[in-house]
Structure 1
């Protein structure tokens, strides 16, 4: 029993330290966000004497965080919907349909996962510029789809491979077309994976800075994370306002993790087990 308790403490202590190291930056940012500039200059590590909510209101209204938040919400939602649609269709086709070249296509999607965005960002930007999609919502949405579709296809294919082919064969005998099988059977059965992959893609798109910075250069079309990055230069002398912008950007992601952490964990292991 003593050895078991020692083992539990040996695991609990480093995990507790890791949790504190993760939570502390968020708590520090929240504390700075409700301080006045004078309080921050006098002692940046002390607790705020009284919450000063004007910083958050200023960041939301005057600085433009509300507009950036709306931009991110629109583009992330559209990108995730397209990713789930195309990813589920491709996953169904690559896992359950038999056609020439399916294995090569799947390996191509797998290989695309290992290509960093920095390798393709110059040709992608040129293609978008020639197409007139720079600084437009469709341009950034399509860029997100292109970047994260291989990941989505890989996970959906892996998940759909765990579904017995007898189910698809039985549906085909009952007179269902390929589209009918996808819509009536594969989509409902793939709901857990779709939810998990959708959450992961939403986090990827929401936290992105590089793609959004390239595709949306104008100030009015910035996403939330790009807006927060720009605050660092504009409000270098007003750290509480900058911290308020960081807090506004972090809260949606934090809430998503708190309420959907199980689905996020399931998304990482989607399709890794049989049954």
Structure 2
């Protein structure tokens, strides 16, 4: 009995330290956000004596966080919709349709996962400038799709590989076209993977700073995360207001993870083990 218990403690101790290291920055930021400017200058580590909720109002209104939030919502929604549409179609084609070059295309998507964005940053910027899409919402949406599509295609292909080919053949015999099979068979069966990859793509796009800084150069077109980076200079003498802006930007991500963590884990596991 002592052996298994000792093993559990050896595993639980580092996990507890890792959890503490993850939670502490969020707790510290929340504590700072509730302080007044004078209280923070006096002692930044002490608990907030009286909550100053006006810091959140200052960050939301004076720092134009509302505009940044809407910008992020529009861009992320459009990007994830395109990623799921193209990724699910490509996953269906690469996993169920035997055509010349399908294996090469899949390996190309897999290889694209290992290419960092910094490698394609300059060519992408030149393409957006020449096409007139720089500093536009469609330009940022296309940049997100180009960056995160290989991951989406890889996960959807891995998941759809586990779908029995007999179902596809039976649907084709019943008179369904390729699009009919995709709409009636593949989309319903791929809901767990679509939900998982959709949540992950949402987190990727929402948390991005580098691509948004490259594409969106006008202050009114900034996304929420790039707006938070600008708060550091705007409120360099008011750290509690800056911390409030950070919490506002992080809140959607936290809520998504708290409510959908089981779906994320289940979908990724299913996509990784099928086929």
Give the aligned partner of residue 79 of structure 1.
79
Is residue 155–residue 270 contact of structure 1 (8 Å, CA) maintained in 2? Answer: no
Give the aligned partner of residue 116 of structure 1.
116
Give the aligned partner of residue 57 of structure 1.
57
The alpha-carbon deviation at position 267 of structure 1 amounts to 4.0
The alpha-carbon deviation at position 242 of structure 1 amounts to 0.5
The alpha-carbon deviation at position 193 of structure 1 amounts to 0.2
Give the TM-score of the pair, scaled to structure 2. 0.98
Which shifted more, 29-38 or 4-13?
4-13
Alignment of 1:61-210 (within 5 A): 61-210=61-210
| 1:128-176 C-alpha deviation (Å, 9 max, x unpaired) | 0111111111000010001100110011001000111011011111111
Q: Distance in 2 between matches of 1:226 and 1:267?
A: 30
Is residue 30–residue 243 contact of structure 1 (8 Å, CA) maintained in 2? Answer: yes
| 1:89-134 C-alpha deviation (Å, 9 max, x unpaired) | 0000000011111111111111111111000010100100111111
The alpha-carbon deviation at position 270 of structure 1 amounts to 4.1
1:23 equivalenced with 2:62 (yes/no): no
Is residue 158–residue 274 contact of structure 2 (8 Å, CA) maintained in 1? Answer: no
Point out where structure 2 has 5 or more consecutive residues left out of the alignment.
none
Q: Distance in 1 between matches of 2:15 and 2:51?
A: 31
Q: Distance in 2 between matches of 1:71 and 1:270?
A: 33
Give the TM-score of the pair, scaled to structure 1. 0.98
The alpha-carbon deviation at position 269 of structure 1 amounts to 3.0
Which shifted more, 265-274 or 192-201?
265-274
Structure 1 segments (4+ residues) deviating >2 Å: 266-271
Point out where structure 1 has 5 or more consecutive residues left out of the alignment.
none
Q: Distance in 1 between matches of 2:265 and 2:29?
A: 27
Alignment of 1:1-16 (within 5 A): 1-16=1-16
Give the aligned partner of residue 227 of structure 2.
227
Q: Distance in 1 between matches of 2:132 and 2:267?
A: 35
Is residue 200–residue 267 contact of structure 1 (8 Å, CA) maintained in 2? Answer: no
Q: Distance in 2 between matches of 1:216 and 1:34?
A: 31
